[in-house]
């Protein structure tokens, strides 16, 4: 079974382009979902930063998305609509169970 990958992007919209950036994010999310690449969740903090959590189905899905012309078009447009604060391409889960914590030490 392929292992899911979590990616996180923290960004803020370019002034005057918040609605456009959210529309582009919705389009990207639709592509990710429709093509089976994974799923997205979007959050916002009080300082107008957005936090996008993308759960890729697998490394294969993420690689395919990075070459998908529909995704590339959206990413190119989004590059003019947002300012990236931080991106975490791959995060690894750290189990919080007592047994897992003992074995990590």
Q: What is the pLDDT of residue 1?
A: 58
Torsion sign over Cα 86, 78, 3, 49? positive
* 19-52 confidence digits (pLDDT tens): 999 999 999 999 999 999 999 999 999 988 999 9
First to last CA, the chain: 28
Of 19, 86, 95, residue with least CA distance to 49: 86
Q: For the packed helices 69-78 and 18-34, what is the interaxial angle rounded to 10 degrees?
A: 160
- The pTM of this model reads 0.84
Report the phi/psi class of residue 48: left, alpha or beta, with left for phi > 0 and alpha for psi in -120 to 50: left
Q: How confident is the model at residue 100 (pLDDT cuts 50, 70, 90)?
A: low
């Amino acid at each position: 079974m392929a292992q899911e990958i979590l990616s996180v992007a923290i960004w803020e919209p370019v002034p005057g382009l918040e609605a456009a950036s959210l529309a582009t994010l919705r389009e990207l999310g639709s592509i990710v979902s429709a093509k089976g690449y994974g799923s997205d969740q979007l959050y916002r903090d009080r300082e107008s930063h957005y936090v996008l959590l993308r759960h890729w189905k697998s490394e294969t899905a993420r690689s395919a998305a990075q070459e998908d012309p529909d995704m590339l078009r959206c990413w190119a447009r989004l590059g003019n609509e947002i300012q990236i604060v931080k991106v975490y391409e791959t995060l690894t889960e750290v189990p919080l169970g007592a047994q897992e914590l003992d074995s990590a030490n």
